[in-house]
Amino acid sequence: MTQPAPLAETVAAIDAHGARVQGMFTDIARGYDRANRWMSLGIDVLWRRSAVAEVLPGSCADDGSRGGVAPGSVVVEGSHAAADGPLRARILDLCAGTLDSTLELHRRYPQADIVGGDFSAGMLAVGEAKLRGAARERLVAREMDAHALPEPDAAFDAVFCAFGARNLSDLETATREQLRVLRPGGRLTVLEFFRPRGLFSRAFHACYNRTVLPVVGWAATGNLGAYLYLPRSIGAFVTIEDYCALLDRVGLQVIGQQRLFGGVAGIVRAERPRGGA
């Protein structure tokens, strides 16, 4: 059977590393979801669900559990919005890939307007094909490079990023961009395979990622190189402690860390201070 031609990227990566990563993800896009499910036995779905649970700042967003406004609505205290009815929250899912996390965000916050941003046209095309019903109205997929977001300052109540940060060419520049597009009081949530430090997580990554993962990834996508890159990118990434220090340095206030599966993955939550830079 003839494979359809890969989609052309419309957003240029900032450097050679970015261009390689972009081409790699577009190449594996059609088998990416299958590879994730096979490799993690579905655990990635549970991790995404945990990460998505507290994406909107509790002080200004109602998750519906208190019987107030609809999930994903934002009540801006003291403004006309509180009298006229709640505004809809805006969430950016950065490095959104095939929109799995974007759809999970939509399930959690059905009233929110969500942008799924990624520089791989192929990944976004696979994701867009999964959108049905209300998700088509609330979710928009947009090609963008994480180092130069095509979004105005303070445009989002929350920025979410799952398994994307590790691939970036310049983590600090991209983090400053996330800070810029968050409104004061807005929240950043990052789910990532940080470089492991504990004995269990180091042993797990060393064994599993170098054996099972490349074989299963190759079987699901036909691209062995991409799944040899994954363990390398984890080894070259920062630890969760170093990442929190970076957030602090650029002006984001870390409000929580969660280690998943003995530290194999982690979730970091941070907020843009109110009244800060």
Which residue number, 73 or 101, has a Cβ lying nearer to ligand SAM?
Answer: 101
Cβ atoms 266, 47 nearer than 8 A: no
Q: Which is nearer to ligand SAM, 22 or 178 (CB)?
A: 22
Q: For residues 61 and 162, which CB has a smaller minimum distance to ligand SAM in the complex?
A: 162
Q: Does 21 bind ligand SAM (CB under 6 A)?
A: yes
| Residues counted in the chain | 277
- 72/94 Cα distance (integer angstroms): 18
Judged by beta carbon, residue 164 or residue 214, the one nearer ligand SAM is: 164
Q: How far is the CB of 191 from ligand SAM (least distance, A)?
A: 7
- List the structure tokens of 24: 């790699």
Residue closest to ligand SAM, measured at CB: 97
Helices of type H across 79-198: 80-84, 100-108, 121-128, 134-138, 171-181
Cβ proximity to ligand SAM: between 145 and 151 the closer is 145
Q: Which of 12, 14, 11 is nearest to 172 (CA)?
A: 14
Q: Helix, strand, or coil here: 187?
A: strand
Among 109, 163, 194, 218, binds ligand SAM (CB under 6 A): 163
Residue 78, Cβ neighbours under 10 Å: how many?
7
Question: At its nearest, how many Å lie between ligand SAM and the CB of residue 248?
Answer: 22
Positive or negative, the CA dihedral 203, 207, 208, 210 is positive
- Give CA separation, 198 vs 194, 201, 206, 259, 265, in Å: 11, 5, 12, 11, 12
Selected from 35, 112, 123, 179, the binder of ligand SAM by CB under 6 A is 123
Decide: is 101 part of the binding site for ligand SAM (CB under 6 A).
yes
Question: Which one of 114, 168, 226, 264 is in contact with ligand SAM (CB under 6 A)?
Answer: 168
**Alpha-carbon distances, residue 4 vs 19, 30, 109, 141, 193 (angstroms):** 21, 10, 34, 21, 32
Please indicate if the annotation marks 2 as binding a ligand. Answer: no
237 binds ligand SAM (CB under 6 A): no
Binding segment for ligand SAM (CB under 6 A), chosen from 2-10, 67-75, 112-120, 255-263, is 112-120
Residue among 97, 196, 231, 266 that touches ligand SAM (CB under 6 A): 97
State yes or no: residue 146 binds ligand SAM (CB under 6 A): yes
Angstrom CA distances, 45 to 98, 99, 178, stand at 13, 12, 24
Residues that constitute the known binding site for S-adenosyl-L-methionine? 98, 118, 145-146
Which stretches of the chain bind ligand SAM, using CB under 6 A?
18, 21-22, 25, 95-97, 100-101, 118-120, 123, 145-147, 162-164, 167-168
